[in-house]
Chains A and B, each alone.
Chain A
Amino acid sequence: MQKRSLVKTLGLTFGAVLLTACASNSDVAEGDELKPLDAAQENAAESGASTETKGVNAQSIESQAVEAQAVAGEQVDAAANEAQAALMETTVFYFDFDNSTIKADSKNSLIAHSQYLAANSSARVVLEGHTDERGTVEYNLALGERRGLSVSRFLQANGVAANQIETVSFGEERPALMGHNEGSWSKNRRVEIKYQSR
């Protein structure tokens, strides 16, 4: 039993590491030659498919565990759901100035959203990209767009279908806080995940 749950934990962790690895690969791919949208989506779909497979592997380990010890399995499931729900409570992800790289502390939550979206193919999200007020209006509109696209690629790399995601940038037009200082600015440089349907 102990061995099984260790395998399970390892399996899940391994899956998560792979997912993260894929995601950061796609981040690196940002630096490559620009691909037209169709190609980029195809790639995303491919990598999405491969990560999905890993997700299934992880689940099959889990279902074995459930067979062996039904009661404990249910408890673990409930705990996992709770953990996912807790992680999904975070819907706003912050960025550094003039930067669209996803921060390390955002990734666990984003993976939880990915898992939920991958498991619920009818769920739809809008990713709203925002910036702080510094710099120019149009550059910030583009920067907000890139932040949304970064999160979109991360979700797709973690098994979410492209058609579940829409990105929209508001640039500096919709600040969360109105102050003219770093305290407000750091809260305004953000991507908000908004569920259109669950």
Chain B
Amino acid sequence: MKLMIRVLLFSLLAWQAKAELVIEITQGKQSAIPVAVVPFKWKGEGALPENVAQIVANDLGRSGYFNSLPQTEMLSLPNSEEEVFYRDWELLKQDYLVVGEIDNDGRGGYAVNFKLIDVNTRTALMNQKLTGGAAALRDIAHFMSDRIFSALTGLPGAFSTKLVYVTTNRDRTQFNLNYADADGAREQMIFSSKMPIISPSWSADGKKIAYASFENGRSEIFIQEIASGKREKIASFKGSNSAPAFSPDGKKMAMVLSRNGNPDVYVMDLATRKLKRVTKHYGIDTEPQWMPDGKSLIFTSGRIGNPQIYKVSLSDLKPKRITFEGDYNARARITPDGRKMVMVHRNKGDFHIATQNMKTGAVQILSSETQLDESPSVAPNGSMVVYAASMGDRSILAAVSLDGEVKFRLPSKFGDVREPAWSPLLK
């Protein structure tokens, strides 16, 4: 009994710190490439802290481009090219095979040797050695996934990236800003408050995040350095200060201020703190986002009576409406190649995540199984969108590929998860 209470206490304490996101893949791609990541041989002593092959298999499977063969279905478990019996893998209809071994690197860390093998041509496409410190095994695994993904798809991998998101309890009396791997692992709380935290967003170099915090009774904008935790208040004008967005060069920040009564979009020069007013309208103007060239912004405006997306050049400041389908289009994000816009979309029904082709204007709804979808954020390689949605009576994170084919969820065991922001590619 005593033990049970202790376990209970421990888990209660644990949940305050950790939301514990767990990935559930709900829909895979029809055309996904079959790949088998064979468990790696560990040449050292004791147990490894991480299952590297499993992390790589999960990464590749979650990307939607690959179908990872479960380890239980493998007929043999080779650790080197010489040990591969190709007919096993042909029988299992696998196109690619990853084999390898892990050893101590002689400096207290790990060295992972792995080969990527093409089953059809029976040749090794990649033969690499990755090393890292004692705590870096998971980083090595994600890095390996990036290499394999990039070699087979031609796209940069985004498995070594991070997410920030807000977790909150049911009573909305505790708000945590969390930082985790893109698969939800290794969550760390980086800021905590009894008042709401909203709109986290990354600097282009991935070193800082900006967000709006209500810690002083109303929304103010802060910038926080990830490594040091150092915070700086950037905007606390009269009224609301919110929706921060770093410019691509990191020198400016677009934001929404209601210092003149009505919420409008401004751009602040971060060095001089000088403000340039971008919108002047009695309607709501909010959610500014930079176009990749840094010369114009897209933003949400309620000026016609319902929210639609507008684009404004910072040289002429003349907004042009760009969404025409649906009665609610908001919080647009641009894909890294600038070709598509991802947004919250409603057409007389539920709120869903949709893309709009920037050239043709064609709208495609990506999410339909979840409800009250909001806060879409695009992966830095443009492959997936992570967003917040409602499941049952809880708020969870979900993700969908940009073609709508792959879907997974990151529900938290406790509380609500909201406002995800996907990091840029980290060096």
Contact = CB atoms under 8 A, between A and B. Distances in A.
Contacts of A142: 240, 256, 258, 263, 284-286, 302
Contact of B198 (A31, A173, A180): A173
A178 B393 contact: yes
Contacts of B351: 134-135
B280 interface: yes
A151 to B, nearest CB: 13
Interface in B250-271: 256, 258-263
A135 B375 CA distance: 9
Nearest to B284: A142
A32 B282 contact: yes
Interface stretch (B67-75, B106-114, B213-221): B213-221
B344 interface: yes
Nearest to B395: A133
B300 A174 contact: no
A183 interface: no
A150 to B, nearest CB: 11
Contacts, number: 116
Contact of B196 (A32, A40, A146, A174): A174
B287 interface: yes
A136 B330 contact: yes
B418 to A, nearest CB: 8
Contacts of A40: 261
A149 B261 contact: yes
Interface residues of B, number: 45
A152 to B, nearest CB: 9
B278 to A, nearest CB: 13
Interface string A149-165: 10000000000000000
Contacts of A82: none
A151 B60 CA distance: 53
A142 B241 CA distance: 10
A173 B196 contact: yes
B383 interface: no
B397 interface: no
B419 interface: yes
B51 interface: no
Contacts of A146: 262-263, 284
A168 interface: yes
B343 to A, nearest CB: 9
Given A134-B351, A167-B239, A170-B196, A139 B372 contact: no
Contacts of A171: 198
Interface string A12-27: 0000000000000000
Interface in A1-60: 30-37, 40
A138 B286 contact: yes
A76 interface: no
A7 B239 CA distance: 44
B240 A136 contact: no
Contacts of B413: none
B273 interface: no
Interface in A112-141: 133-139, 141
A136 B172 contact: no
A139 B281 contact: no
Interface in A171-191: 171, 173-175, 178-180
B137 to A, nearest CB: 36
A143 B284 contact: yes
B256 A34 contact: no
A169 B300 CA distance: 18
B390 A136 contact: no
A173 B214 contact: yes
A145 interface: yes
Given A135-B330, A137-B375, A169 B240 contact: yes
B344 A136 contact: yes
A34 B198 contact: no
A98 B306 contact: yes
A180 B285 CA distance: 27
Interface string B293-335: 0000000101000110000000000000000000010110000
Contacts of A174: 172, 196
A19 B116 CA distance: 78
A108 to B, nearest CB: 26
A138 B262 contact: no
A196 to B, nearest CB: 11
A37 B237 CA distance: 13
B214 A137 contact: no
A175 B172 contact: yes
Nearest to A178: B170
10 contacts: A30-B282, A98-B302, A135-B307, A136-B300, A136-B344, A138-B331, A139-B307, A139-B330, A141-B243, A142-B286
Given A31-B282, A133-B372, A168-B240, 16 more contacts: A34-B281, A36-B261, A40-B261, A136-B307, A136-B344, A137-B198, A137-B418, A138-B242, A138-B330, A139-B284, A139-B286, A139-B331, A142-B286, A145-B240, A175-B172, A178-B170
* 3 closest cross-chain pairs (CB), A and B: A173-B196, A142-B263, A142-B284
